[in-house]
Every structure is written in structure tokens, then in C-alpha cells.
Amino acid sequence: MRRRLSLRDERWPTRDAFVIARGAKTEAHVIVVEIAQNGAVGRGEAVPYARYGQTMAGELERVETLREAVEHGASRTELQDLAPAGAARNALDCALWDLEAKRSGTPAWALAGLSVMHPVTTCFTISLDEPAAMGAAARAAARRPLLKLKIGGPGDLDRVAAVRDAAPASRLVVDANEALGFEDLRRLAPELANLGVELIEQPLKAGEDVALEGYDCPVLLCADESLHTRAELADCARRYGAVNIKLDKCGGLTEALALAALARAMGLQVMAGCMVATSLAMAPAMILAQGAQVVDLDGPLLLARDREPGLVFTGSEIAPPSRALWG
């Protein structure tokens, strides 16, 4: 029986304003794709991201251009050649994984070659704010084992120091979202190392991070905005020791798994990341998160409410997704 594709966008308010160096957001605006065949329905969720030139209207239109191919049976492998990396391909790719799992009765993690799915421990994000406010947020989250701090300008050292003082037992990573200059990084990195920061995400602008080549940073550097697919991996390997793989950037779980395998073969650590979205977007990334050195799948924790059924969080530990949710 021929497939039937349905498409919609949804808005999910955040619990508080989510603030990074580029700005703030108060909702997650997501694409949801459903692909039905023979009574089974596969679902995928994705987030168009303005930083990468995407709009909701543009990504919805891209899905529409792929409707005929998908409804006539295009595979995940064929989809890689039919659409560029991005939110539209991610939603379709994840829906196809889910559909195959539902139709075959084989969990998506088994289709991906895993023998078992384990719970993972996620970062919990502290939004960019004044040091006192970030310290207060960290104090409220001090029982979480891993905190991710958004930084991005004057006062960054004070921000990290305030969080460290408020959550002395938590491991820390920081995310600059391209907001630092190279000299800023050189000045800050030793101080961040002294505060116990384990990783710095994307300190410099993508395209300007060639300056990192040959720099011996005292804190592990992780590419985010500089990495989308395997095409950028060789450049990243010369500049970073880790890469943040997000399904929305690379265009789905299919590319994410290939990208992670190649990154590991090149000696890079893997971070499984996300945009702010519901559990439906996080569930496929749970497969990517198996074996990742850092997991950042806290999107649902940042929302005022999540979809049901959603992922089950026990503190910062995420249980594998139920089949009713995805996969």
C-alpha cells in the first residue's frame, strides 16, 4: 500500500526564556512529519534554525517538494541524495526510521545495529544571564551531575565562577555559540580549566575557527556550528577534540550515525546534542547518544510542557524511549 505523508508545525512554550549569545526564545516551533503505511505510522520532529538560513515556511515547503518521492517509497538512503542536510530531511528521515520499526516490529535501536539501549545522563542548560542569576539557576539545579552554561561576552568568567560556587559537585561544560574571539578564548581557557570546566563548545565563529589549528587549549574544544555533516569533519578534526552532532544540523539519524562513526575513527569525542524541542525530537537522538562522551538532550526539560507520551526523565537520567513515542 502506498504511503501517506502528513505535515504540520507546532508551537511549544518554554518554561523560561531560553537565552544564548545570539538571542532569546520563548517557544519551540517545530515541524512534525507523519508517514502512514498499512496501518503503521512513523513520526519525526525537527526544528528549522535561522542561524543556518532556515525558516519554518521554507522547511515545510521542502518537505512538500519531497512528498511524491516519499509517498512512492523513497528509502532513507535515497533521501540523503534528494534533500540537503537540515530540519526537513531530519523530520522525514526520523519518520522513516519510526515507520520501519513499527512495520517490522524491530526496535529502531536494533535496526541501527545496537544490541541494547541504555539510559543516558544529559546536560542541563543554564541560560545566559547576569552572574548572580546564573548562580541562582545553578543552585536550583545543583543536584544535577552535568550543567551546561551559555556564555558570550563581558563577565563570562564571573558567570562560570558563580555557577561553580553554586553547584560545586556538578561537572561543567560551557557553550559560547560563536561569541568569543581567539584572544578571548586564550585569556579565558586557563581560568575555565581552573574552575573545572571540561569542555568549551564553539568558541569562535564558524569559518573563523581556522585560528584554532595548532592551539593547545587547556580545555577540550567541541565543534557545533562548524559541523553539519561528514563534509566538514576533516576541518573540524584539525581544530577540535570533540564534535556536537545534532540531527537537525546533519539532516537525520541516518547521517548522524555515519558521522559519529567517522568522528570516532578520527579520534574525536562525540557529543549528542539537540535544539529546544519535545521528546519526539530527542527520541531518535537517544540512539546517537549511546556511547557518546557528552549527552545534551535536555530540550523537553526546558519546555513548559512536553508531548505525551514523552521521554521519562529521572533527574538528568533519560530512559530509552517507549515504542509508543518513537522507534
User: Which residues carry out catalysis?
Assistant: 150, 246
Beta bridge partners, 45, equal 32
Cell of 241: 577534540
**C-alpha 178: how far from chain center:** 16
Strands 220-223 and 124-126: unpaired
Q: Is 73 exposed, middle or buried (0-12, 13-18, 19+ CB in 10 A)?
A: exposed
User: Any long-range contacts for 39-42 (C-beta under 8 Å, 24+ apart)?
Assistant: 40/99, 40/102, 40/103, 41/98, 41/99, 41/102, 42/94, 42/95, 42/96, 42/97, 42/98, 42/99, 42/100, 42/101, 42/102
User: Whose CA is closest to 147, among 167, 130, 161?
Assistant: 167
Cell of 291: 556511547
Helices (H), the chain: 56-71, 76-82, 87-104, 108-111, 131-140, 156-166, 182-194, 233-237, 247-250, 253-265, 279-289
